[in-house]
Structure 1
Amino acid sequence: MAQDPIPADRIERFEAGFHGDVIHPDDVRKSGTLSTPSERHSRSEGADYDEARAVWNGMIDRHPALIARCRGVGDVISAVNFAREHDLLVAVRGGGHNVAGTAVCDDGLVIDLSEMRDVWVGPDERTAWVRAGATWADVDRETQAFGLATPGGAVSETGFAGLTLGGGIGHLRCKYGLTCDNLASIDLVTADGDYLTASADEHEELFWGLRGGGGNFGVVTGFEFDLHPVGPDVAVCLVFYSGERMIEVLEAYRDYVADAPPEVSLLTLSGVLPDEELFAPDTVDERKIAIAGCYAGSVAAGERALAPLREIHEPVADFSGPMPYVEFQQLFDEDYPDGMRYYWKSLYLDGLSESAIDRIAYWSGVAPSPLSTVDVWQLGGAVARVDTEDSAFAGRHAPFLLGVEANWERPEADDVNVEWVRDCLEDMRQFSDGSVYLNFPGFFEEGDEMMRTTFGPTYERLVALKDEYDPTDLFSRNQNIAPSGTARADDGGVL
């Protein structure tokens, strides 16, 4: 349901004290300038509404009443206060991907942090401070200048903030844990417009909830985190086998990771993976399974440790070997272009039994898009060594994470691709307790039930945090923890 229009004089007062850009639905770039009624008082010179409301996932087409593109914490506080005072639906946008579409809403206010991208590194202390609009490319560029890194995403254009608040499963996880495990402090603006810092020494319970509990408790503006020596080169495994060998490869992968050194973090990707630059013409359109990952240690030791994964059978292609860590972080970027259509879901798996492997092989073989994959992420190691009392992240019990990615190009193929993901997940629940990774959530179909299943006994602890810091559910456009007695807000368009 559309919200009542905001009086023009109140918007003008908001803009007068706002240092960033306030973008309106009638803002259209014309030859580098604006020609709109809002030009007299807006700071959004050259901004274009349709560009500003677009997110990475081409399935998302929403029309906010205003977009507040913040330049600093003062702007974030102003935007939060404006939204609260006018009872606006709020979406918070970070710097990168947003597969579930929560970064934009219909009729409400988008608090856009994408220009707050600074990264500062303390090489002696092995710490860094990151503003909430940064991507992993921004973070890797600065930290690798000193031969340092923290566990991050598997695609460099992913936003730092969203990935971190959902846990953060990346290429260094088994050695150094999740991204959220490496946080030292988090700065945020609460629903009341208060600015505070959460850490092990202050607002400790909030610090617990922010590490894996999602964006439920405020607008995070910055992160302080620990770094580790990584690179500049790492040993990489990137080997492709024929889809006809999928069961054999998954069995070998399962057996390998059971005894793998903690420096190794791997995943498998099953699908057609059509890339004319990588594969011979007779295999480019055939189904394949890839094993990808790296070794967080010396290159020589890594090449020895990863060698068995390259010898399971005769590969279709093998690009393994030493590689700059930054280059490895960017390896999958081109597979996820801006504006393509994406629908992803996940489940934590109890293991890789023969039956589970059979079903993974089946579902990867019936994907309606050749760009889609069924992925199996190795967990354990440092991820499993952190207790649930230390952070809210809910997936530490599982040895594997199943990711089902529908990726396609044409809108007319939406229904068949979404149905494939849903059917696959429904089938694979027999090998899972039903909990999910918040960063691969699909959209909002499961709602509160999904969150209760995922967090289990810690769910009520998260509700208590929500009651304290956001009792009116101002921040509902996320994988939402609803406050006590409050129904989950309408998401404004669910598939």
Structure 2
Amino acid sequence: MSAAVTADDLHDLRTRVAGRVTGPDDAGYDAARAIWNAMVDRRPAVVVRAAGPGDVAPTVAFARRRGLDLAVRGGGHNVAGNGTVEGGVVLDLADLHRVDVDPGARTVRVEAGATLAHVDAATTPHGLAVPLGVVSGTGVAGLTLGGGVGWLTRAHGLTADAVVAVELVTVDGETVTADADHRPDLFWALRGGGGNFGVVTAFTFRAHPLGPEVLAGNLVYGVDRWRDAWTALRTWTSDLPDEMTTITTTLSPPPVLEAGDEPLLVVGLAWASPDRASGAALVDRLRRLAPPDVDDEVGDVDWRAWQSAFDPVFPQGVRAYWRNTSFDALDDDVVDVLVRRGGEQRWVGTAFDVHHMGGAFGRVPQAATPFPRRSAGFWLNIYGFWSDAADDDERVAFVRGMSDDMAPFASGGRYVNFEGRQPPGHRPVDLRAVYGEAAYSRLVDVKRRYDPENVLRVNTNVPPG
């Protein structure tokens, strides 16, 4: 047990919250402290599994009174490991996962511990969808607070762009709602500025008609066809309608996919319109430009099945490190890097995605949210997964090396949800550079108003000064 937290302290905390309070000497402690990224192994003094929003204020007050670091954990991954803390307090919101759909208003209220799977299960029966991510186990809260990129980004924008209202508890214990008319400064900051300003307990989203089936799937290419595929994508993506979003992945497939041992280029496609004929014609155009030589599996797919199709690529409990950058064009020099680096990654787990941006995402004014680089044509996410700590240096070096190779072509955007935990000795992400001077200054102002002591600092932190 931490020297700062005694048995009497834990007893006192248990009288103040309805949820489960777990200390280092309690049964289930290792399970309570475990997070998705096994590279981050921390031993908090106490984990509070909140039973409801009423547990937030007393937990925050407990951490403040004792001068302990406070980590807030939602329902999902948190690649950087900010959902836990050494010797401090973890506030775990995973049991707050209720989703309420208003089909008439096309709004969806989502509690902060919900995952994509929870939301899709509630919205799909109504023929509705919220723009979310690409893996069903992703937590909605972290995804939204950082921005939210996924299969509907070009059609409907970021997850953060769909937010209508945010309910949260401030560090002073006040329950507030932020929307366009109430606390608009806070509402702006929460849609891309991370968990710096309060503990979010629920979001209300605007939903869009979709499904339950969509036109989606993959065109898959072997190594010899990669350059042709990238060249075709350069042409094909130049004039796509908003309804078509593509995410192109290079990976050595995990055995569960039964796709062999050689690295593959997978062009993932999702068409967010009931006009199947127009979507199919677009896919046919890409097929003609670059006929897939490994697999062609595009057709009508259940939306929930598509949202979980990439789950096997992101297993629980792996060691993980990510980096990302935006760029504007698939020119020959960029393609050279993508083909060369893709051919070098011959181990299962490490991969990279190229998200085609633009569409509805690109039409949101830059100043409307803190999210950086709305003008980006593409976004590259390089991610590594492995199980053996002995591979840490090699795998991290690959991710960093590819990131360095892409630096000459980068357009300046960095997405905080795609940033991994920095290894020891490396400088943290420069958020002033990420957000730009004007947006960063606005974030600091909001932070100063709502968290002047930087209580919420175990995150991608915007300090209050």
With the length of structure 2 as denominator, give the TM-score of the two structures: 0.96
Match of 1:293 among 258, 264, 269: 269
SS at structure 2 position matched to 1:402:
strand
Secondary structure of the corresponding residue to residue 225 of structure 1: strand
Contact 1:342 1:407 in 2 (8 A): yes
Pairing of 1:127-276 with structure 2 (within 5 A): 127-275=107-255
| Distance in 1 separating the partners of 2:135 and 2:305 | 10
- 8 Å CA contact 1:369, 1:406 repeated in 2: no
Per the alignment, do residues 241 and 368 of structure 1 end up closer, same or farther by CA in structure 2, a change over 3 Å counting?
Answer: closer
Matches within 5 A, 1:59-458: 59-275=39-255, 277-279=257-259, 284-298=260-274, 299-311=276-288, 312-367=290-345, 369-444=347-422, 450-457=430-437, 458=439
Question: Secondary structure of 1:110's partner?
Answer: strand
The alignment status of 1:26 with 2:25, answered yes or no, reads: yes
What CA distance in whole angstroms lies between the structure 1 residues aligned with 2:287 and 2:308?
A: 22
Aligned AA (2:173): G
Provide the residue aligned with 2:459 in structure 1.
478
Q: Is residue 16 of structure 1 aligned with residue 27 of structure 2?
A: no
Question: Which amino acid is 2:283 matched to?
Answer: L
The alpha carbon displacement at 1:434 in A equals 3.6
**Separation in 2, partners of 1:106, 1:77:** 21
Structure with the largest fraction of helix: 2
Q: CA deviation at 1:271?
A: 2.4
Hey, what does 1:43 align to over in structure 2?
Answer: none
Which runs of no fewer than 5 residues in structure 2 stay unpaired? Answer: none
Task: Write the distance in 1 (CA, Å) between the matches of 2:413 and 2:432.
Answer: 9
1:460 aligns with 2:441: yes
For residue 214 of structure 1, report the CA deviation from its aligned partner. 0.9
Report the Cα distance in structure 2 between the residues aligned to 1:450 and 1:321, rounded to whole angstroms: 42
CA distance in 2, matches of 1:449, 1:341: 20
Question: Per the alignment, in what secondary structure is the counterpart of residue 87 of structure 1?
Answer: coil
Kept in 2, the 8 Å contact 1:367–1:417? The answer is: no
- 1:317-359, Cα deviation, whole Å (9 max, x unpaired): 1121110111100101122111122111110113222101101
Larger CA deviation: 458-467 vs 301-310: 301-310
Q: Deviations over 1:86-125 (max 9, x none)?
A: 1110111000112111101110000000000000000011
Shift of 1:145: 1.2
For the 8 Å contact 1:373–1:404, the answer to whether it is kept is yes
**Distance 1:225-1:209 versus aligned 2 partners, 3 A rule:** same
What RMSD in Å do the two structures reach over aligned CA positions? 1.6
Structure 1: 5+ residue runs without aligned partners?
A: 29-47, 485-495
- Is contact 1:291-1:309 (8 Å) kept? no
Indicate how the Cα distance of structure 1 residues 395 and 218 shifts in structure 2: closer, same or farther if over 3 A, else same: same
Kindly indicate whether the alpha-carbon contact (under 8 Å) linking 1:234 and 1:302 is maintained by their aligned counterparts in 2. no
Q: Does the 8 A contact of 2:334 with 2:409 survive in 1? A: yes
Shift of 1:427: 1.8
Equivalent position of 1:493 in the other structure: none
SS at match of 2:300: strand
Provide the C-alpha distance between the structure 1 equivalents of 2:454 and 2:286, rounded to a whole number of angstroms: 48
Q: 1:60 is matched by which residue type in structure 2?
A: V
What is the deviation of 1:395?
3.1
Comparing 362-371 with 48-57, greater Cα deviation is found at 362-371
Q: Deviations over 1:276-303 (max 9, x none)?
A: 6543xxxx11221010020000233322
4+ long deviations beyond 6 Å:
none
Q: Is the 8 A contact 1:93 1:111 kept in 2?
A: yes
Once structures 1 and 2 are overlaid, which stretch shifts more, 218-227 or 349-358? Answer: 349-358
Tell me by how many angstroms 1:7 deviates: 3.9
- Contact between 1:447 and 1:480, CA under 8 Å: does it hold in 2? no
Asked if the contact 1:368–1:417 (Cα under 8 Å) also holds between the matched residues in 2, the reply is no
